[in-house]
Amino acid sequence: MGSIYLIRHGQASFGADDYDVLSEIGIRQAEILGRHFSQLGLGFDRCLSGELRRQQHTAQATLAQIGSAGLPAPKIEIEPAFNEFDADAVIRALLPHLLEEEPQALEVLRNPGQNRNEFQRLFARLIGCWLNGEHDESLTSWASFVGTVRDGLERLLARANPRQNIAVFTSGGTITALLHLITGIPARQAFEMNWQIVNTSLNRLKFRGSEVTLASFNSYTHLELLKTPELITYR
């Protein structure tokens, strides 16, 4: 059987004007992950990334460490199907309804770095509405997002050879969609797991032909071993 390693990007710039940039911690997380793979003697036959900078930068920093150890570190293939869903669009579309019940939500969502816990609570409410389809057709639906991710997985598998090790650098929402597709877990429960996905954590899929199973979820031993709590982040 072959293996697909779904890797969430390193810590991005939460609360900054441009979220899609790795923080210093995010770069360090990616380098640590690359050294972890090197210590395991694990290189890759293929490497895919979404189009987002935080995804590609994580891939580059990880592969640099693998390559420096003399292990296979292939060129990054860009696959837009592994982008994250547009969280900003979800917030913009659904916020007006939320404000009727939670008038403070606008201030919290404008300053997420200063209100992390409250931001998460409100964001989870908005995601719940998105999953339920409580929005107009101008917003990409959860079902459409899942369909895009499914198409990307099918393209990956169609080109995969048996026993290949394939790395996919992506984001939490995409990993959640894949969990939903592969295990059949309901979307709401999948998102409860989403909130626990650590930056640069590993989620391993095993595949034979078009058959895919989940082998492990949200492993971040490479960070835990360093006994440095600030390296374990969720955004």
Domain boundary among 101, 131, 161: 131
Amino acid at 199: N
Residues 126 and 149 in one domain: no
Number of domains in the chain: 2
Residues 107 and 150 in one domain: no
Q: How far is CA 62 from the centre of its chain?
A: 15
Residues 8 and 81 in one domain: yes
* Total Cβ atoms within 10 A of residue 14: 15
Residues 93 and 193 in one domain: no
Domain boundary among 77, 101, 131: 131
pLDDT in tens, 164-188: 999 999 999 999 999 999 999 999 9
pLDDT for position 112: 77
pLDDT band at 115 (very low <50, low <70, confident <90, very high): confident
Residues 80 and 30 in one domain: yes
Residues 36 and 148 in one domain: yes
* Torsion angles phi and psi, residue 3, rounded to 5: -130, 135
Q: How far apart are CA 175 and CA 74, in angstroms?
A: 22
Residues 63 and 177 in one domain: yes
Question: Helices (H), strands (E): how many in the chain?
Answer: 9, 6
Which contiguous run of DSSP H or E holds residue 147? helix 142-159
Q: For the CA atoms of 213, 218, 221, 224, what is the dihedral angle to 10 degrees?
A: -170
Residues 78 and 165 in one domain: yes
Residues 65 and 105 in one domain: no
Which domain, by its residues, includes 105? Answer: 87-131
* Total Cβ atoms within 10 A of residue 154: 12
Q: What is the pTM of this model?
A: 0.93
